[in-house]
Structure 1
Amino acid sequence: MTPSKKWYKFIIPIVLVCFGCTTENFEENVGSQSLTKQENFTTSRAGLKSIGSGVMMQAFYWDVPAGGTWWDTVEGKVQDWSNAGIDAIWLPPASKAQNGAFSMGYDPFDYYDFGQYNQMGSVETRFGSLTELQNLISSAHNAQLNVIADIVINHNSGGDSEVNPVNGQSNWTDFNPMSGKFFRSYNDFHPNGIHNNDTGVFGGFPDLCHHQTYVQDWLWKKTESVAKYYRDSIGFDGWRFDYVKGFEPWVVKDWKNEVGGFSVGEYWDGNASTLDWWTGQAEASAFDFACYYAMDAAFDGNDLNRLNDDMLWKRNSMRAVTFVTNHDTDEIYNGKMLAYAYILTHEGYPTIFYRDYEEWLNKERLNNLIWIHNNLAGGSTNILYTDNNEYIARRNGYNNAGLIVYINNADYWQERWIETNWSNTQIKDYTGHSNWEPTTQGGKWVKIQVPPKSYSVWAPK
């Protein structure tokens, strides 16, 4: 969730504060391509694909159909996604929120109600019942897919009004969930006896205080904490932390160190240096918003030189989760397939957006790029050429031959001589966009081509 959410009407300004962090004592969450697939990511549940061996699917979009059918819809797709090369699915916030059957989950009320209690105006959530969620997760696991939970712990919504003695004001901070777990009062939010605020407040909602031991216990430390309940009772395998600008990075680090699992934060910032700082402090991955903004400028703004911009994957590919669009942005813009060709041939852990895959773009073309990512896109990256309309890069290979990707934003065919890693080797375009099958020279040079407004990906035949 971000300040761009469609149902939020206002935002309180964010004040950033840098706090100290704890020492590192748990497994790395790493990005993708400089190591082997197996070494890059880990999964704590036997029988599942290693996270990072393939591609993540964001298995929802903003305002998916209400009526409690979404878990069933996704369950019907998990095997096909796995067959295509997906290794994890990211679900929307699964527990009961203030808006009940109409909520997308980003206004959480009862972290332990997955559609089994009659509160907030409904029994089921917008997405379905507890049983349907469990069936979905079971089917995903049977398809060897990890399931990533969307965790919203910056703020809560739906509490009753009570007076906060710290400031003498009435606030909606009295939470009495029907699950009987994690009751909350004014002392668990800001302001309280510890401090008035942390790094940010979202939308005027009650802002959880993660410095309170009671809050830490219920969120990740206790045997029945939210984190352990999600992992052990519901079956989630990893975490996507919402709006991490709203609390200090040590919260994500402590959560991950307590319960394990792949972790990625939504730190909405286009500055690669800032993203790199956050991933180091949290010891977790982050969505590469720097890459997102550079691609938007490159493909929608018709200047592929912008792909030379600083990005998180260039600073630390082992922490970068790349994406073309998500539930907050979910726009169709020019060159979206070119953007997918970019993230699916470059370093980082790429994410596919549900509507792009299932509704808006060519699924066969996306499946081809997923295959290329999983089988050819290894090793470090060298950018070979850029101008307004052309971009060529080489992946140098790791336990595979690597590849050359050629992206063309012009309205006509283009061709160029480039230096490969292969001498006297016949190569081909694995996208099928070109029928050339040239042989590289002894000095590794070869001429390749690319169609208008398209891309080609070259590797040994």
Structure 2
Amino acid sequence: MKKLIMQGSKILILLFLLGCTDNENLEVPVSDKTATDPFEANSNSDNSSQRAAGPGGGVMMQAFYWDVPAGGTWYDVLESKIADWDAAGISAIWLPPVSKAMNGPYSMGYDPTDYFDFGDFNQNGSIETRFGSKTELLSLINTAHNYDIEVYADIVLNHNSGGDLESNPFTGTQTYTDFNPASGKFYRSASDFHPNNYVYNDEGIFGGFPDLSHSVPYVQDWLWNRSDGVGKYYKNVMGFDGWRFDYVKGFGGWVVREWVNNVGGFSVGEYWDGNAQKLQDWVNSTNRTSSAFDFACYYKMEEAFDGNDLTKLNGDMLWKRDPEKAVTFVANHDTDEIYNKLHAYAYILTHEGYPTIFYSDYEEWLDKNKLNNLIWIHRNLSAGSTNILYADNDEYVARRNGGPGIVVYLNTSNQWQERWVETNWSSQVIKDYTGNSNWEPTTQSGKWVKIQSPPNSYTIWSTK
């Protein structure tokens, strides 16, 4: 692909190109990874879930939003969408917490009572969970697997809720720490929560709920050691392929490490912090057994796309530091602050990291055809390391260097924009795979080419 040109000609070309821009072109390398698959296996975790067909890797669907309809129908709704999601290129779905919680049929699952009641025991006011029955859950998982779609469980380990009052010898008070689950598995008492004989507290508590103590050997056994414990039952009996760990700021990264090392499966933690260094520190605290949601990327996108300053995309993000451990997203059930969402999806689906689609964005709020197009581009074209080529208030251009690779051009201005950029392609015809531009320019022998983007839109270029 490389072709030498005379130095004098090269100088003239560069002078011409610089004359076509209002600002100096940038070429900022943000990743040194050169593999066509941005997700590489390591000795401590199972990243096979991210190696879907195509050089760009997989795409996750968050298959719920806050306060989905109650009544036990949600699993059936999701099962009816699996075929279409598979056709669109979704490779994994993330479910809400599947076990019975304190508020029974009304709970979103983040107040867990019985980890082994999937909607088949009469407790906390219902038999089914808000989302359905165990039978319906197993049917959903089986259907997803028939389409080679993996299923991730939302695991809440920090706290429990719905226990009975008991005298707590560690606090000298009455506490709601007496758990007698209808499933008959994983009974808990005051000695299994903080404070106890082993440790007074851990990294954090949430909402005043009893804070589960992972330092207690009995708790460790039931969570990840026992063959019939929570992790191994969810994986080997229920069929879950991976885990989204809730509120990991509340306990040490070693907890996730031990879970993954003993249970296996893909893992991503919700470490809610916009500081990329802290996100990477948490990933490292798990001995790199887990990915993390890239909140740093999320907040930079909000500043860039809603604040009309695309130079914010030059900022620090987890995917730039550690792309194989970054799970990128535009919205989720807890936070939905980005207004200019299509630009944000065009960003995460063309850059490194494991992108997540939010159910409501896909099924209700945005143009599904445009999202499907971006998913296809991610899986089939978006590979390799990344270079930021240009950024100002309303223009951003970046290049992916794998095969075949892309150049993405984001434009938030109210007019058409054009820009000369350096590609990885010499003397090749390229086109915009979004259909937003009908140009089909030929790159020069020195790999430079002029591309364009419509007002408040984006284009994504690759070889024909």
Please, what TM-score do these two structures have when normalized by structure 2?
A: 0.89
**Offset at 1:103?**
0.2
Contact 1:313 1:320 in 2 (8 A): yes
* Matches of 1:50 and 1:442, distance apart in 2: 28
**Offset at 1:53?**
2.6
Contact 2:55 2:381 in 1 (8 A): no
Q: State whether structure 2 residue 344 is matched by structure 1 residue 377.
A: no
Classify 1:454/1:51 alpha carbon distance in 2 versus 1 (closer, same or farther; 3 Å). Answer: closer
**Offset at 1:348?**
0.4
- The amino acid that maps onto 2:180 is N
- 1:337 equivalent in structure 2: 342
* Matches of 1:94 and 1:130, distance apart in 2: 9
* Matches of 1:44 and 1:185, distance apart in 2: 38
Contact 1:202 1:246 in 2 (8 A): yes
- 1:298 equivalent in structure 2: 304
**Offset at 1:35?**
3.0
Aligned residue among 354, 371, 386 for 1:366: 371
Instruction: State which drifts further: 246-255 or 33-42.
Output: 33-42
**Offset at 1:52?**
7.7
**Offset at 1:40?**
3.1
- 1:9 equivalent in structure 2: none
Q: How does 1:163-312 map to 2 (within 5 A)?
A: 163-282=167-286, 283=288, 284-312=290-318
Contact 2:38 2:383 in 1 (8 A): no
- 1:149 equivalent in structure 2: 153
- 2:123 equivalent in structure 1: 119
* Matches of 1:221 and 1:209, distance apart in 2: 15
Classify 1:32/1:253 alpha carbon distance in 2 versus 1 (closer, same or farther; 3 Å). Answer: farther
Alpha-carbon displacement from aligned partner over 1:50-104 (angstroms, at most 9, x marks no partner) = 9983200000000000000000000011111111111100000000000000000
Contact 1:95 1:105 in 2 (8 A): yes
Q: State whether structure 2 residue 430 is matched by structure 1 residue 424.
A: no
* Matches of 2:52 and 2:126, distance apart in 1: 34
Classify 1:313/1:229 alpha carbon distance in 2 versus 1 (closer, same or farther; 3 Å). Answer: same
Alpha-carbon displacement from aligned partner over 1:361-398 (angstroms, at most 9, x marks no partner) = 0000000000000011000000000000000000001x
Secondary structure of residue in 2 paired with 1:76? helix
Classify 1:49/1:68 alpha carbon distance in 2 versus 1 (closer, same or farther; 3 Å). Answer: farther
Aligned residue among 289, 314, 319 for 1:313: 319
- 1:356 equivalent in structure 2: 361
Classify 1:149/1:226 alpha carbon distance in 2 versus 1 (closer, same or farther; 3 Å). Answer: same
Secondary structure of residue in 1 paired with 2:356? strand
* Matches of 2:55 and 2:418, distance apart in 1: 36
Contact 1:279 1:285 in 2 (8 A): yes
- The amino acid that maps onto 1:317 is P
Secondary structure of residue in 2 paired with 1:135? helix
Q: RMSD value over aligned CA atoms?
A: 1.9
- 1:132 equivalent in structure 2: 136
Instruction: State which drifts further: 50-59 or 151-160.
Output: 50-59
**Offset at 1:48?**
8.5
* Matches of 1:322 and 1:44, distance apart in 2: 18
Contact 1:48 1:146 in 2 (8 A): no
**Offset at 1:263?**
0.4
% identical equivalent positions: 66
Classify 1:251/1:69 alpha carbon distance in 2 versus 1 (closer, same or farther; 3 Å). Answer: same
- 1:324 equivalent in structure 2: 330
Aligned residue among 408, 415, 431 for 2:411: 408
Please, what TM-score do these two structures have when normalized by structure 1?
A: 0.90
Q: State whether structure 2 residue 439 is matched by structure 1 residue 436.
A: yes
Contact 2:430 2:463 in 1 (8 A): yes
* Matches of 2:173 and 2:197, distance apart in 1: 15
* Matches of 1:217 and 1:33, distance apart in 2: 39
Alpha-carbon displacement from aligned partner over 1:321-356 (angstroms, at most 9, x marks no partner) = 00001000135x432100000000000000000000
- The amino acid that maps onto 2:305 is F
- 2:3 equivalent in structure 1: none
Aligned length: 427
Secondary structure of residue in 2 paired with 1:296? helix
- 1:107 equivalent in structure 2: 111
Classify 1:36/1:460 alpha carbon distance in 2 versus 1 (closer, same or farther; 3 Å). Answer: closer
Classify 1:53/1:345 alpha carbon distance in 2 versus 1 (closer, same or farther; 3 Å). Answer: same
Structure 2 unaligned runs (5+)? Answer: 1-30
Classify 1:412/1:445 alpha carbon distance in 2 versus 1 (closer, same or farther; 3 Å). Answer: same
Structure 1 residue ranges, 4+ long, deviating more than 4 angstroms after superposition: 31-34, 41-45, 47-52
Contact 1:51 1:146 in 2 (8 A): no
Contact 1:429 1:435 in 2 (8 A): yes
Classify 1:288/1:165 alpha carbon distance in 2 versus 1 (closer, same or farther; 3 Å). Answer: same
